[in-house]
């Protein structure tokens, strides 16, 4: 399980990503709040992340990195308004986490096949498994 600081780092990265297309929309804020609640982050701490960033902590395991990438894909699509800047940043974040470029590209390509571009977790996991075997 992640430390509290790691959870804040996860949320901070997501908030920064949500700002890629200027303002954070209500749907994005609601999604971020839901992730915050799932992670067990206090509301005050969550809200403070909109004012100041915390130290970036890389997710330790490959599974945690894939999970964070999936969260970011979901966040990108929650407002149904994708910008080229978001896709570029998502790609760069995935590379920065050490994810395989071919797996990142495949996820970004197949997401268009699903309603609301929401890639099911099992599909995403199978993509990364295939690229790491």
Give residue-wise pLDDT tens across range 13-23. Answer: 999 999 887 78
Angle at which helices 62-78 and 4-18 cross, to 10°: 40
Q: What is the pTM of this model?
A: 0.90
Taking the domains of the chain in order of start, what are their residue ranges?
A: 4-132
Alpha-carbon separation of residue 92 from 2, 21, 48, 84, 117 (angstroms)? 23, 16, 25, 12, 19
Asked if 31 and 75 count as a contact pair (C-beta separation under 8 A), the reply is yes
Q: Which of 18-22, 52-56, 116-120 has the lowest mean pLDDT?
A: 18-22
């Amino acid at each position: 399980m992640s430390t509290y600081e790691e959870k804040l780092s996860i949320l901070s990265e997501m908030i920064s990503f949500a700002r890629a297309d200027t303002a954070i929309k209500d749907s994005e804020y609601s999604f971020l709040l839901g992730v915050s609640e799932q992670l067990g982050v206090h509301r005050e701490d969550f809200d403070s992340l909109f004012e100041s960033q915390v130290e970036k902590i890389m997710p330790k395991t490959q599974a945690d990195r894939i999970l964070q990438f999936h969260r970011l894909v979901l966040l990108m699509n929650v407002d149904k308004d994708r910008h080229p800047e978001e896709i570029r940043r998502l790609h760069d974040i995935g590379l920065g986490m050490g994810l395989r470029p071919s797996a990142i590209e495949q996820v970004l390509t197949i997401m268009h096949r699903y309603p609301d571009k929401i890639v099911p977790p099992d599909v995403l996991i199978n993509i990364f498994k295939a690229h790491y075997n």
